[in-house]
Amino acid sequence: MKAMVLQSANRPLELIYCPVPEPEDNQLLIKVRACGVCRTDLHIVDGELTDPKPRLIPGHEIVGEVVAVGAAVHGFKTGDRVGVPWLGWTCGACHSCSTGRENLCDTPRFTGYTMDGGYAEYTVADARFCFPIPERFSDSEAAPLLCAGLIGYRSYRLAGRFHSLGIYGFGAAAHIVTQIAVHEGREVYAFTKPGDVAAQGFARKLGAVWAGGSEDVPPVALDAAIIFAPVGALVPLALRATAKGGTVVCGGIHMSDIPSFPYRLLWEERVVRSVANLTREDGERLLEAACRVPVRTSVQTYGLEQANEALEDLRAGRIEGAAVLIP
């Protein structure tokens, strides 16, 4: 099969030919139909996430067809369409797992990071961490839901009770969360790179009541804010824009250093919190919400061998919505 492989950080992915993997007892062998290109992939390729498996096949927003099942698999059969997310395996026994927080497992495995992912024609995945994909979504439309949607929705839920929501960084996750928030009657205020009128127009088209640059002050005090851009300097800006008792959620796996800021920005019971990974319950809830709204993902598709081009377009901010590879 063809696969795009990371040989070492800060180098382009290389196209290689390798054997089709064989599923273990709890695994599915999946023919990849689509794989989203996530900012986490950029963090891995750029060496900001430092412990990928050797000769890694990236990609953790996978939609594909089951072509073989392991001996211990229940609930899936050949021909089923499934989604594979970032969280690929947990121990089930540590304190976090045993208290319903498998996203914080002590010894997790991650698709497209510590296990090979979906920048390939085939992949294997633990069936217990895969999701049936609703028929409503095409392969390419479903792919961004499996990380941008999942992490975005977890961030959205952990923002607490709110009416006005600020979103900093209007990419794949933001364009999904905005649709859910608007459907639920909330006001979305979109913050983009200063002067990015295209992203601001995209946000308004999806229902944002206001869009501006990241350093702009919104017309109302925000009840909550989610930061999807990996820029630590946005934390004090979001706190400045947030009302008393509001929550600022850092929704990424990596962020540049947060600069010092005066305590008055945090005072009055404001909260800053991070989001880590996902749970299988998050996946079930997100897919149900995406069908109910319904969410319409905006995607730009690339061939498998164009993975480096897709990553560069994502890095440069040239993608409206999400990038998806089609093997």
Provide the residue range defining the domain that includes 214. 150-274
CATH number at residue 95: 3.90.180.10
Under the phi-then-psi rule, with left for phi > 0, alpha for psi from -120 to 50, and beta for the rest, what region is 66?
beta
Q: Are residues 167 and 302 in the same domain?
A: no
pLDDT at 162: 97
Q: How confident is the model at residue 55 (pLDDT cuts 50, 70, 90)?
A: very high
Q: Cis link prior to 132 (omega < 30° from 0)?
A: no
Q: Are residues 38 and 169 in the same domain?
A: no
Could you report the per-residue pLDDT of 262-313, keeping only the tens digit for each? 999 999 999 999 999 999 999 999 999 999 999 999 999 999 999 999 999 9
Q: Are residues 287 and 321 in the same domain?
A: yes
Under the phi-then-psi rule, with left for phi > 0, alpha for psi from -120 to 50, and beta for the rest, what region is 47?
left
Could you report the per-residue pLDDT of 66-113, keeping only the tens digit for each? 999 999 999 999 999 999 999 999 999 999 999 999 999 999 999 999
Q: Token pair of 94, please?
A: 């540590």
Burial of 248 (0-12, 13-18, 19+ CB in 10 A): buried
> To the nearest whole number, what is the mean pLDDT of the chain?
97
Could you report the per-residue pLDDT of 183-214, keeping only the tens digit for each? 999 999 999 999 999 999 999 999 999 999 99
Q: Are residues 256 and 304 in the same domain?
A: no
| DSSP code string of 239-281 | HHHEEEEEEEEE-SS--PPPPP--GGGTTTT-EEEE--S--HH
Q: Are residues 263 and 298 in the same domain?
A: no
pLDDT at 212: 98
Domains: count for the chain: 2
Q: Token pair of 154, please?
A: 């977890």
CA–CA separation, 111 and 266 (whole Å): 36
pLDDT at 96: 98
Q: Are residues 125 and 155 in the same domain?
A: no
Q: Are residues 142 and 193 in the same domain?
A: no
pLDDT at 315: 95
The DSSP output letter for 120 is B
Q: Are residues 7 and 140 in the same domain?
A: yes
Q: Are residues 252 and 177 in the same domain?
A: yes
pLDDT at 262: 98
Q: Are residues 285 and 139 in the same domain?
A: yes
pLDDT at 102: 98
Q: Are residues 164 and 131 in the same domain?
A: no
pLDDT at 298: 97
Q: Are residues 102 and 236 in the same domain?
A: no
Could you report the per-residue pLDDT of 12-28, keeping only the tens digit for each? 999 999 999 999 999 99
Distance of CA 163 to the CA centre of its chain: 23
pLDDT at 241: 98
pLDDT at 101: 97
Boundary residue ending a domain (274, 291, 311): 274
pLDDT at 103: 97
Closest to 63 (Cα-Cα) out of 91, 101, 35, 102: 35
CATH number at residue 201: 3.40.50.720
